[in-house]
Chains A and B, each alone.
Chain A
């Protein structure tokens, strides 16, 4: 109840950010700190967000629109997933600088927030409690995706 009451007084920017599953457990004050680190980008329909094999530097959060994750240059046959508002992609870039595993394209006009790896690493140093919450949510999300992948092979 308290959370819904606080939600009513949150700025539109914070409210939008809260719609992202990764930030659902993070308090308003902490969310404001994260907001200070995020870069805002807009993409048109069909615009490439990043390519497969590119060195990853950041994680992307979808605030508006949809994106398609697919094999490089194969949006139909190579489709891996379609993500919408509240979801994120490119999360492996927060962990290491390994090449991107797939291409991501905007299937609708998109608004995205971007967290750069260096900013995340700085967050671990300056606001370890926020970074640990974020890391836990990230681990949960990756576990869930792994579970889905395993299930898709088994079933």
Chain B
């Protein structure tokens, strides 16, 4: 009769993992909709406290939602209008810059390998440093012809769906309450309170994750910008911001961020290999701080997923949906876990099932009240 203690059984765990994999597979197919929706969720959780403040100041919910989403949309469109002409005007220069930085990166690899060959005899046999440098330079030469067009095309193709994010966020801010009422109405009386609790728990989990990740990005950005600036690395603001945002992609993101910073540093300060090592050290230090201090402190224990399961799910996510799978697997697993836990409580509660069956009988009887056959 009473609520069972919160505990996930093995069958539910299997269901949670299978459910997460199925959702990832499905989401991969409709990524054009999932990404703006996730961005909208992030935006919704960031704007909700501001919206609450406006409502508290006497504004209506609709007006607050319109003002905040409209302001964000204006900022995005304004930024795009500002950036677009510069991108087009400097396209040629950008191509040569990319090549220059790739060459700089190749020089660092060559220098490091050369140093290693001096110290380790087995590396001397193969001409690894020259081979690697040639391959990197070959890639750099072909990059603008083969890949740059594709990258620009992907960015342009994604822009319209990204503009969807503030529009979805507007409707979440405006009609979030109505949506919850609508879902509540579809649930039978016996399961009503448990469903309300489930919706609340899902909301809390998603809020903690998205707001936590945003805070983590800000902390990472501040750390990197100041760190790079103190080290004397070039463009600390741009590099720090890009690397912090790339941190949203687990494993690969921080590595790409670090490689970018190394390439730029090596190109702008040729011959200063110690500065390159210091930049790598800064990124390694950030990784340690993120994993052991910032992440547990900021995101907390809401996503209390075992580390081994987290790593396994990263591999599963990558296998199913690539980079998108890496990014989505943990929030999806967290949400499916809350759902699985609550649904297990509901389905194991025999009293709730009995109450539901009893209510159905009452409804049946009420519907048949004047339809009984009478003897002629």
Residues of A within 8 A of B (CB): 36-37, 39-41, 43-51, 53-58, 72, 99, 114, 116, 118, 122, 125-128
Residues of B within 8 A of A (CB): 1-3, 52, 55-56, 61, 177-178, 181, 184-185, 189-190, 192-194, 196-197, 200, 351, 355, 358-359, 362-363, 366
Which B residues touch A58, using CB under 8 A? 193, 196
Nearest residue (CB) in A for B204 is A118
Interface SS of B by simple majority: helix
**A47 and B359 in contact, given A116-B200, A118-B200 (Cβ under 8 angstroms):** yes
Nearest residue (CB) in B for A58 is B193
Q: Decide: B1 and A53 in contact? CB cutoff 8 A.
A: yes
Given contacts A47-B359, A47-B362, A122-B52, 17 further A-B contacts (CB under 8 A): A37-B177, A39-B184, A41-B189, A44-B366, A47-B358, A51-B1, A51-B351, A51-B355, A53-B1, A54-B1, A55-B2, A55-B3, A57-B196, A57-B197, A125-B56, A126-B52, A126-B55
The docked-state distance in angstroms from the alpha carbon of A98 to that of B181 is 24
Which A residues touch B193, using CB under 8 A? 50, 54-58
The docked-state distance in angstroms from the alpha carbon of A97 to that of B212 is 26
**A125 and B185 in contact, given A57-B193, A118-B200 (Cβ under 8 angstroms):** no
Q: Decide: B359 and A127 in contact? CB cutoff 8 A.
A: no
- Which 3 pairs from chain A and chain B are nearest by CB? A53-B2, A57-B193, A44-B362
Q: Decide: A127 and B55 in contact? CB cutoff 8 A.
A: yes
Which of A50, A53, A54, A122 has the most CB atoms of chain B within a 10 A radius of its CB? A54
Question: Shortest beta-carbon distance, B146 to chain A, in Å?
Answer: 53
The docked-state distance in angstroms from the alpha carbon of A129 to that of B266 is 60
19 contacts across the A-B interface (CB closer than 8 A)? A39-B185, A40-B185, A41-B192, A44-B359, A48-B190, A48-B355, A48-B359, A50-B193, A51-B1, A51-B351, A51-B355, A53-B2, A55-B2, A55-B3, A58-B193, A72-B1, A116-B196, A122-B52, A126-B55
Nearest residue (CB) in A for B61 is A36
Which A residues touch B355, using CB under 8 A? 48, 51
Which B residues touch A51, using CB under 8 A? 1-2, 351, 355
**A48 and B358 in contact, given A41-B192, A53-B1, A57-B196 (Cβ under 8 angstroms):** yes
Nearest residue (CB) in B for A37 is B177
The docked-state distance in angstroms from the alpha carbon of A21 to that of B51 is 31
The docked-state distance in angstroms from the alpha carbon of A43 to that of B200 is 24
